[in-house]
Amino acid sequence: MTSVTSVAADSAAPTTYKGSAKLLTGIVLGVLTFWLFAGSLGTVAPNILSDINGSTEYISASQMNMAVSITALFSGLFIVLMGGVADKVGRLKIAIIGNILGIAGSLLVVLSTGALTLPLMLTGRALQGLSAACIMPSTMALLRAYWDGKDRQRAVSMWSIGSWGGSGLASLVGGFLASNLNWRWIFIVSIVVSVVAVLLMLGAPESKVRTTVARKKFDLPGLATFMVMTLAFMVVIIFGRQIGWGEPLILVLVAVGVVAAVAFTIVEKKNTDNPFIDFALFKNTTFAGATLSNFLINATIGLLMVSQQMLQLSNKGYDAWKASLLTIGYAVFIIGLIRVGETLLRKFGPRKPMIWGTLIVALSAICLIPTNLMVGDYQVLAFVAYSLFGIGLAFYATPSTDAALSNLPADQTGAGSGIYKMASSLGSAVGAAVSLTIFSSLSGTGAGWIGSVLTTQGTLDNEAVRQAGAVAFLFNLVITLIALASIMVTVPKGRKYNND
């Protein structure tokens, strides 16, 4: 790797380096590789299953659900750790390493075929999660280090466009490439973009925190027990029905998850110096409520993933590209209105826009529930639902971050920010896993009680798939309402915060 000049980047020694357009472009492209490409797998999962599985099933629907979810899961598990590592060894170095991990992960996904499909796919997707855990905190730190004033605001806006814009366009780009070329091209393009990002970053000066204060050791026991707990429960959620809820393997995994949860709690309570998750932060009810709602709102990504798959599986004329075209409103509104959330925050404080955004997401879920309708009517509802989804998330995002972090003491904002970011990724992982598990579990048999409420119109050949989708959307409506309740109970009106 090309050697770089070291530049101090902390409060005691502000950098004199002025960020260049070349570095900023590389940063934005690095962010895009996760959101735009890695995030598209949920949309094109049916294409992958159809392409890889011929007369032999090399990867099941449940295993594909794990592949979809594991990227966000690994991002959430390691984002706090890698943010600290970046501060210590260099933000630019970790950002470049993150892109290299993304290249390796995408290459493994591209090579997934035959009997090697499952190990290559899962390993590749896990590496993509580690890539995001490296890129997100390190690039945000670079923005703070190398840009000032209006230039920094512009740089942050460009970073946000890469993040939010990438998530908004993921279905469109993935659907287009999968339907017009092959799903593997999604990850081939991702490799090319990552290579360009690395080349643009090379040559920029390094940025790291320099301090004479002894650095606290990272809580590896806390991370390890948290990982075991989370992975055990995720496997149970995704594979429990397929293996059998009463089977020894599932019971053992439940026991492992419970033991790991108890061990994690004990480890974190004993570690008063630098815990992986500082439980004391949750004594602040505003932070706790905003973080919980952030976890739950991010979990509603299942609305997008399930509806895209349902449209393709229940309608022979729908491929990934045609289904993804319905998400144009989502992409437009989430990109175009993200700054509106900031304006609403300044005018009303965080509570009202958080409530409004959550209610709009709930309305989006309601629009997707009547899967009994004819496809012509339903695709209109789906277009409206996706647009509302984008509006709701745009209204919610900035006010939620402000509510979670602005009322914490200065010496706790770093820890609070890490937990809040982790909640975002883990929410996406858990939400996608549960929603897709509900959908795949019921796709073969349907849900009779849904049929007694929503009479299926048109052909009945796809009734089970449509009923499975409706149940998944109901689940997302429920978690959205729980998020709403957490906001109303914990986030005070106006800008008055509870720092107890």
User: pLDDT tens, 455-476?
Assistant: 777 777 778 888 999 999 999 9
Give the pLDDT confidence score for residue 391 in this predicted structure: 94
Give the pLDDT confidence score for residue 211 in this predicted structure: 60
Give the CATH class of 282-500: mainly alpha
Per-residue confidence at 235, pLDDT binned at 50, 70, 90? confident
What are the two backbone dihedrals, phi and then psi, of residue 54, each rounded to the nearest 5 degrees?
Answer: -105, -115
pLDDT score of 7 more than 50:
no
Structure tokens at 238: 């995704």
Q: Best-predicted range by mean pLDDT among 45-59, 102-116, 146-160? A: 102-116
pLDDT score of 102 more than 60:
yes
Query: CA-to-CA distance for 417 and 299, rounded, in angstroms?
Result: 19
358 vs 20, higher pLDDT? 358
Q: Give the sign of the dihedral formed by CA 105, CA 156, CA 94, CA 429.
A: negative
Contact indicator for 201, 96 with CB cutoff of 8 Å: yes
Give the pLDDT confidence score for residue 128 in this predicted structure: 94
Query: CA-to-CA distance for 377 and 190, rounded, in angstroms?
Result: 35
Identical fold for domains 20-207 and 282-500, yes or no, is yes
Give the pLDDT confidence score for residue 499 in this predicted structure: 43
Query: CA-to-CA distance for 39 and 127, rounded, in angstroms?
Result: 13
| DSSP-derived secondary structure for 19-42 | PPHHHHHHHHHHHHIIIIIGGGHH
Give the pLDDT confidence score for residue 215 in this predicted structure: 61
Give the pLDDT confidence score for residue 6 in this predicted structure: 40
Query: CA-to-CA distance for 309 and 316, rounded, in angstroms?
Result: 12
13 bridge partner residues: 10
Structure tokens at 163: 């993040």
Give the pLDDT confidence score for residue 392 in this predicted structure: 94
pLDDT score of 287 more than 80:
yes
Per-residue confidence at 3, pLDDT binned at 50, 70, 90? very low
Query: What are the percentages of helix, strand and coil residues in the chain, rounded to 5?
Result: 75, 0, 20
Query: CA-to-CA distance for 324 and 43, rounded, in angstroms?
Result: 8
Alpha carbon of 489 to those of 114, 166, 289, 483, 485: distances in Å?
Answer: 51, 33, 8, 10, 6
209 vs 166, higher pLDDT? 166
| DSSP-derived secondary structure for 39-93 | GGHHHHHHHHHHHH-SSS-SS-HHHHHHHHHHHHHHHHHHHHHHHHHHHHH-HHH
Per-residue confidence at 410, pLDDT binned at 50, 70, 90? low
Which among 193, 133, 176 has a CA at the least distance from the CA of 44? 176
Query: CA-to-CA distance for 236 and 79, rounded, in angstroms?
Result: 24
Give the pLDDT confidence score for residue 5 in this predicted structure: 40
Q: Is domain 20-207 in CATH 3.30.70.270, yes or no?
A: no
Domain boundaries defined on the chain: 20-207, 219-275, 282-500
Per-residue confidence at 498, pLDDT binned at 50, 70, 90? very low
